[in-house]
Structure 1
Amino acid sequence: MFNITNEIKKAFNGDAWHGNHVMQTLNNVNPESAFSHFVPGAHSIAEIALHLTAWTEEVSSRLTGKPAEEPAMGDWPEPEGRTPKDWERIIFNFKIANEELIRVCEAIKDNQWDDEVKSERNPALGTAVTNVELVSGLAQHHAYHSGQIALLSKF
């Protein structure tokens, strides 16, 4: 039987079909380049990692019954600092957010996956979806941004 929790585990730090999982991609980033804007108007690797963390936390919040809204950190949080230690903290916080999400997912009963997320039906916020669609979307989100990070880390 299909297990959506396994999909988020693979995207986060497992054997992802698309290539490196997000943790591997983040750990391969040179800390000195994590805060650089290599493409005019584009986000830095650190900003993308913070965005991933923000949405992972928001998905956990929604899965625990809280109404859908913008992430508490904001959609695109700015790094608080730009040192290698700050980069380590960003990676650590992403790891913690995903470990918490996995704990939340593992606590969801099979009959709850098709429940709709509490929301005001705002498609821009990814609302009016079921729990399984929400987690599936986050796994896709992880893969998409992992690809961006992998490309940016080549500069």
Structure 2
Amino acid sequence: MFSITNEIKKAFNGDAWHGNHVMQTLNNVNPQSAFSHFIPGAHSIAEIAMHLTAWTEEVTSRLTGKPAGEPVMGDWPVPENKTPQSWERIIFNFKVANEELIRTCEAVKNNQWDDEVKDERNPALGTGVTNAELLSGLAQHHAYHSGQIALLSKF
């Protein structure tokens, strides 16, 4: 049977149909280039990874019944330090956020996936959607930004 939780597992560290899962993509990044801005006006790989973490944490929060809002870390957090150790911490935080999300998803009852996220309808903020749509959107978000990271890591 299809499981929306399996989709986030695949996008995070499973057999994603589109290619490398996000963890593999992040682990392939050279730490010295993670903080570089290869394209003027574009985000660095580290900023994208932190953005992914922020929204993963926000989706977990929404699935536990908290009202929708901006992520606690902000939409586009900026790394405080630009060292290989900081890059390792960014990857670790992404991993922990996704593992917590998966644990939360596995606790969601089948009849709760059609429940709407708590908040007013605001398409730009991703509210007014069901829990299943929310998680599906995050899996798409992971795939989208994983592609960006893969391209930026070729510079």
TM-score in terms of structure 1 length:
0.99
Q: 1:139-154 to 2 correspondence within 5 Å?
A: 139-154=139-154
- What is the CA–CA distance in structure 1 between the aligned matches of 2:96 and 2:54, rounded to whole Å? 12
Which residue does the alignment assign to 2:118?
Answer: 118
CA deviations 1:50-80 (Å, max 9, x no partner) are: 0000000000000000000000000000001
CA offset digits 1:78-126 (Å, max 9, x no partner): 0010000000000000000000000000000000000000012111100
Alignment correspondent of 2:23: 23
Give the ranges of 4+ consecutive aligned residues of structure 1 lying more than 6 Å apart after TM superposition: none
Q: Distance in 2 between matches of 1:71 and 1:119?
A: 14
Q: How many residues align?
A: 155
| Alignment pair present for 1:77 and 2:77 | yes
2:49 is aligned to: 49
Gaps of 5+ in 1: none
Q: Distance in 1 between matches of 2:36 and 2:44?
A: 6
116-125 or 21-30, which moves further after superposition?
116-125
Matching residue of 1:91: 91
Quote the residue 2:4 is aligned against.
4
Deviation at 1:2, TM superposition (A): 1.2
Q: Between the two proteins, what is the percent identity of the paired residues?
A: 87
Instruction: Name the CA distance, whole Å, in 1 between partners of 2:135 and 2:2.
Output: 13
> Which one-letter code corresponds to 2:25 in the other structure?
T
2:64 is aligned to 64
What corresponds to 1:133 in structure 2? 133
Secondary structure in 2 matching 1:89: helix
